[in-house]
Amino acid sequence: MLYPGDVFTTEITTHDAVTGAASDADSLPTAVLVRNAVDTVVVVTVEKKADTTGVYSLTATIPEDWDRGDSIHFLATAAVNSITANAVVLPNILGDEATREEIIIPPSPPGFITGYLQCYDEVGLFAVGVPVQIQMTQVPDVGGLSFNTNVRTETADEDGMVYFTKLVPGATYNIRRGTSTFWQSFSIAAGTTDNIAIDDLLGRDT
């Protein structure tokens, strides 16, 4: 995820239009940073990558006052053997710096950890309000512990984040998203003290 203030950088390659072979451009390619389909005046630095043929870097700093949800990309132009071509490069949707700082994993008490997931819909946007359920299926086997097997449900927040606090190191859980028929299993290694990213999870929403 990119945020206002971040450095936006990538590489492009140039080719001979007839043979397809990598080839240096006739002159240094140019590029503009496009925001919401409008060309901007943000400075894009284009540099030839040393010891390569036809590889150039594009670098720009995303202005601090751009907004979450802005669609951005580079529009690069290069000519090889007098044939000029354009390319849309690295399309992205901006996140919000303030939001990034607000995403803090809720802590769990000593002896427990917090597991988290970030939920997206089928087109890659945050899936707000998606329910995720977990159920303990195996206790840590350290003796003297009893948990129930009730299902607990958490819902994705505005950043698609779902947090399960008070997960038990050494335990195994089933997890599912939405109305998925199938549950996926994940285990937390005994002795884990850091919060964890729960295993990637596919699911069907209501």
Considering the complex, state which of residue 18 and residue 125 has its C-beta at the smaller distance from other proteins: 125
Considering the complex, state which of residue 57 and residue 81 has its C-beta at the smaller distance from other proteins: 57
Nearest distance, CB of residue 201 and other proteins, angstroms: 4
Closest to 203 measured CA to CA, from 119, 114, 115: 119
Considering the complex, state which of residue 46 and residue 119 has its C-beta at the smaller distance from other proteins: 119
Largest CA distance in the chain: 77
| Cα atoms in the Cβ-side hemisphere of radius 13 Å centred on 179 | 2
Measuring CA to CA, how many Å separate 165 from each of 28, 116, 142, 179, 197?
Answer: 53, 9, 20, 22, 12
Record the tokens describing residue 43, joined without a space. Answer: 């400075």
The total of other beta-carbon atoms located within 10 Å of residue 179's CB is 10
Nearest distance, CB of residue 118 and other proteins, angstroms: 4
Nearest distance, CB of residue 61 and other proteins, angstroms: 19
Nearest distance, CB of residue 14 and other proteins, angstroms: 14
Considering the complex, state which of residue 41 and residue 50 has its C-beta at the smaller distance from other proteins: 50
- Residues lying near other proteins in the complex (CB under 8 A) are found at 1, 10-11, 88-93, 95, 100, 103-105, 116-125, 127, 130, 132, 162, 177-178, 180, 196-205
